[in-house]
Amino acid sequence: MLNSASIIRAVVSLAIVVVSVVLHEVAHAWAAYRLGDDTAKRAGRISLNPARHLDPFGSVVLPLLMSLVGGPVFAFAIPVPYNPNNLRKPKRDEVFVALAGPACNFIQAVVGSLAFRALDAAWTGDLLGYQLLSVVASYVYINLTLMFFNLIPLPPLDGSSIISPLLDGEARRTYYRVQRYSMPILLVALYVLPSVLGFDPVGQLLYCTAGSAYSFLMGA
């Protein structure tokens, strides 16, 4: 049953997701521009305006639902457009463009963990300080979750753009055939398996990856 505390946590989580996702997408656009393609720049994606990046379901509804049910919070945004033919070294640079978003989330998590340690050292035990520490801790964990979630090799997630340029021949053709069913696969993994079979593969993956990284960064 929802209460005011859970609703506040969900709203705070959503605000963190919006900030983190916007920076994630700007990183993709900036990397593509620096590597020779200005498609994303011309589309206005090197911008901190959330409206240019957020997908209504993937960036708002999905993370809000995940937060309300108490699960790991993850999200995806509108893919950044780019033309790989404009990149200086297309096969290599496609991977760099795809990695830029998750790398940005990792940098945010590291900065957040350093801020947490500094705030924790100065905390005097007051309620406001505790709440601020909780928000910063959530910022770290959400960014790690976004990082590892987006590394899953299924469209529209970044992992697919990292894997596909590295494949050749029959392996690449087989991967493209699987990609056609990526959204149904993702929806089954996110909703059907946890609700019907009680098996949550995405949640377990994030617990092992983001959870371990969080413990390491926060010294837990």
Q: Is there a catalytic annotation at residue 170?
A: no
Measured between alpha carbons, how far is 32 from 48 in angstroms, rounded to an integer?
16
The token pair that represents 30 in the structure block: 């900036």
Q: Which residues, at least 6 apart from 151, have a Cβ–Cβ distance to it below 8 Å? A: 102, 157, 158, 159, 162
Measured between alpha carbons, how far is 93 from 82 in angstroms, rounded to an integer?
11
Contacts 24+ apart (CB under 8 A), 167-170: none
Q: Considering the candidates 25, 37, 94, 200, report the single residue annotated as catalytic.
A: 25
Check if the beta carbon of residue 55 is closer than 8 Å to that of residue 31.
no
The token pair that represents 44 in the structure block: 């206005």
Just list the catalytic residues.
25
